[in-house]
A and B are shown apart, each in its own frame.
Chain A
């Protein structure tokens, strides 16, 4: 549910920030609350995406081994994606 306001904010950002230019994006991330909101978005989106794809796998992937393998892969994939996203935002925001 937290995704709805975050998505609205993100859409406004994507439209108003020159996203084709990395330095502009980095400058935007460093300004104000943007880094915090972006981290919240990445975490909420990762959680949402994980829960959604998990339900789909549980519904359609038969066979114990295949199911467990897919679920574990999904879980690792989302943890890594969330971690990489948060680390990247922090790195840009803190200028490390």
Chain B
């Protein structure tokens, strides 16, 4: 069967704009958070079994790659939660017109940034108070 005559998927010929960027980021951050959920359950299991792996994971998380990983999960969290609330508003039937969608899109980006910066500030503040 020839594949040439088949219609293309929309994402192959639509213009790149803020709507699909935000949508794809929502999916990517969701996948990152599935990894985060894996880490959460691993931590719970380690605490329940008294495994020494937990201490090792804590030590790893203070290394540069560990911090980078946590930062990515944090960024994914900030964005996914903010955009998730936007999705809930959509589910309830609000905010579909273009002006609204654009405004809430920016709002989500700002909220995500605020969450990330807030968490980083807390982290630095903790270091200043208790030492590394």
Q: Which residues of A contact B (CB under 8 A)?
A: 1, 3-4, 7, 15, 20, 22, 25-26, 29, 38, 42, 45-46, 49, 52-53, 56, 81, 84-85, 87-89, 91-92
**In the complex with contacts A4-B85, A42-B41, A84-B41, A22-B30 CB distance below 8 A:** no
- A46 CB contact (under 8 Å) in B27, B37, B58, B81: B37
11 more CB-based (< 8 A) A-B contacts, given A22-B54, A46-B37, A52-B30? A3-B84, A4-B84, A15-B122, A22-B46, A45-B37, A49-B33, A49-B37, A53-B34, A85-B41, A85-B44, A92-B44
73-111 of chain B: CB within 8 A of chain A: 81, 84-85, 88
Task: Categorize the interface residue count of chain B.
Answer: 20 to 34
Secondary structure dominating the interface of B: helix
Give the A-binding residues of B (Cβ under 8 A).
Answer: 27, 30-31, 33-34, 37-38, 40-41, 44-50, 54-55, 58, 81, 84-85, 88, 122
Q: Nearest residue in B to A45 (C-beta to C-beta)?
A: B37
- Other-chain residue from B30, B46, B58 in contact with A53 (beta carbon distance below 8 A): B30
